[in-house]
């Protein structure tokens, strides 16, 4: 089954909100064995919506639409769908009772526009919205299935999980789609492709390989489809093992997990703790860690020591070191890392100091010069990097690189 997702709303196209609905829906559909062939965002414009519907019917068997079902005049999806299918409306009594129940709960007046939300297309099966007033609609037309849902994420998510996907699974015999993701760090996409070319060239037609690069990391994803889950899983695992054997030194995980979560899980399993001293990254690394539940089992805390005076008072960096070598130097970043480990009583520590830009560089230390140090149980390592002149990219790349160095040191020391 081929699916297409259409999200409707000017707010998406002007960048006022990010279309997270499509990514979430695509994941859920894929897990159900449904391949998403295209995702489109269209404006709150009748003709634009009609054109998108017409084009999608030539590409997909299942068309999922979100947005434009609210009570205000800019919500035109329902009327446009009625025009597209040449049908009228009916008042759905169950949907009306749902609207009344919601307004009663909040002791709010029930307006005519709210009652009209219970109107659905005559040719649809109503999908009740337990989290809002706008019902969804399931429409079967000329061998295609169209599903219209609210654009509010939590309303759409409930409808998808509780009604739409079960209804699709009940109506169709769907294939199995499986993915296996390998997270790598410390190597670029082109170099990876060269190292695993022999495996990629040997893949059968029903298994695809994709590279998903991000600043500092590359995910390799093997995706396969078939009818027998166990057989397909075994086949993908065999190819994944061949890839891992070729690039073992760069592999951090065989799950689709962020690098910081991989480190947190590994350190927790070894009962290890971590502290951080950040300068140019301004707390970015600490944020990456603490966005995950239970990060406190590993991450003790840290300091954002932007000024030299704080590097001295909090991290015990020598004033002489700062005068002689500067804040962005091997000597300073080592003292920052060792100072953090000592001050916060952690097993491991990270320190970052650099010139994120776009200004502040010099001939000797241009913008993008970053020093990173990691201190472990037996030693401190420090490395210099030159990332470029984009501030946000420098911060993100510094964070990923620091975590990669930490992971390598931990693995090295755990051997002994």
> 259-269 and 391-415 helices cross at what angle (nearest 10)?
30
Q: How high is the pLDDT of residue 415?
A: 62
* Full set of structural domains in the chain with CATH: 2-171 (3.40.980.10), 176-253 (3.30.70.2860), 259-415 (3.90.950.20)
Which residue carries 């290890």 as its tokens?
272
User: Up-side HSE of residue 87: CA atoms within 13 Å toward CB?
Assistant: 16
Instruction: Count other C-beta atoms under 10 Å from residue 283's C-beta.
Output: 15
Residue 416 has pLDDT above 60, yes or no: no
Query: pLDDT digits over 307-336, tens only?
Result: 999 999 999 999 999 999 999 999 999 999
Residue 392 has pLDDT above 80, yes or no: yes
Query: pLDDT digits over 144-172, tens only?
Result: 999 999 999 999 999 999 999 999 998 88
| Residues 90 and 120 sit within 8 Å (Cβ to Cβ) | yes
Q: How high is the pLDDT of residue 113?
A: 85
Q: How high is the pLDDT of residue 215?
A: 86
Burial class (CB in 10 A: 0-12, 13-18, 19+), 222: buried
Query: pLDDT digits over 76-114, tens only?
Result: 999 999 999 999 999 999 999 999 998 888 888 888 888
Q: Which residues contact 155 (CB under 8 A, 6 or more apart)?
A: 129, 131, 132, 134, 149
Q: How high is the pLDDT of residue 304?
A: 98
Mean pLDDT of the chain: 95
pLDDT above 70 covers what percent of the chain?
Answer: 100
> 46-57 and 77-85 helices cross at what angle (nearest 10)?
50
| Residues 65 and 139 sit within 8 Å (Cβ to Cβ) | no
pTM comes to 0.78
Q: How high is the pLDDT of residue 403?
A: 97
The neighbouring-strand residues paired with 120 are: 90
Query: pLDDT digits over 29-73, tens only?
Result: 999 999 999 999 999 999 999 999 999 999 999 999 999 988 877
Residue 191 has pLDDT above 70, yes or no: yes
Residue 292 has pLDDT above 60, yes or no: yes
Q: What is the residue-wise DSSP string for 88-150? A: -EEE-HHHHHHHHHHHHHTT----HHHHHTTEEETTEEEE--TTSS--EEEEEETTEEEEEE-
């Amino acid at each position: 089954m081929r699916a297409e997702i259409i999200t409707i709303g000017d707010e998406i196209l002007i960048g006022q909100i990010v279309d997270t609905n499509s990514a979430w829906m695509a994941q859920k559909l894929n897990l159900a064995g449904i391949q998403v062939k295209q995702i489109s965002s269209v404006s709150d414009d009748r003709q634009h919506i009609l054109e998108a519907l017409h084009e999608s019917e030539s590409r997909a068997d299942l068309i999922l639409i979100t947005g434009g079902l609210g009570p205000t005049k800019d919500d035109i999806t329902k009327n446009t769908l009625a025009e597209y299918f040449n049908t009228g409306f009916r008042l759905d009594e169950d949907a009306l009772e749902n609207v009344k129940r919601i307004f009663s709960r909040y002791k709010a007046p029930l307006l005519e526009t709210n009652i009209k939300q219970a109107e659905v297309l005559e040719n649809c099966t109503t999908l009740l919205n337990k989290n809002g007033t706008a019902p969804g609609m399931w429409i079967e037309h000329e061998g295609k299935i169209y599903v219209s849902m609210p654009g509010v994420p939590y309303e759409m998510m409930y409808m998808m999980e509780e009604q739409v996907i079960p209804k699709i699974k009940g109506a169709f015999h769907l294939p199995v789609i499986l993915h296996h993701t390998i997270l790598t760090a410390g190597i670029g996409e082109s170099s990876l492709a060269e190292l695993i070319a022999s495996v990629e060239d040997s893949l059968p037609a029903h298994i695809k390989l994709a590279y998903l690069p991000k600043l500092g990391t590359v995910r390799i994803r093997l995706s396969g489809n078939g009818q027998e889950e166990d057989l397909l899983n075994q086949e993908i695992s065999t190819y994944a093992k061949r890839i891992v054997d070729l690039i073992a030194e760069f592999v951090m995980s065989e799950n689709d997990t962020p690098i910081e979560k991989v480190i947190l899980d590994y350190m927790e399993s070894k009962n290890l703790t971590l502290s951080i001293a950040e300068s140019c990254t301004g707390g970015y690394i600490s944020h990456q860690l603490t966005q995950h539940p239970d990060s406190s089992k590993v991450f003790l805390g840290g300091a954002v020591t932007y000024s030299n005076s704080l590097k001295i008072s909090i991290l015990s960096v020598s004033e002489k070191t700062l005068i002689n070598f500067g804040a962005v130097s091997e000597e300073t970043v080592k003292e920052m890392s060792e100072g953090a480990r000592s001050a916060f009583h952690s097993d491991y520590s990270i320190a970052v100091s650099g010139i994120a830009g776009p200004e502040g560089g010099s001939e000797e230390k241009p913008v993008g010069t970053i020093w990173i140090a990691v201190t472990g149980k037996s030693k401190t390592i420090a490395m210099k990097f030159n990332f470029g002149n984009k501030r946000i990219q420098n911060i993100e790349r510094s964070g990923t690189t620091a975590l990669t160095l930490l992971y390598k040191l931990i693995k090295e020391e755990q051997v002994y």
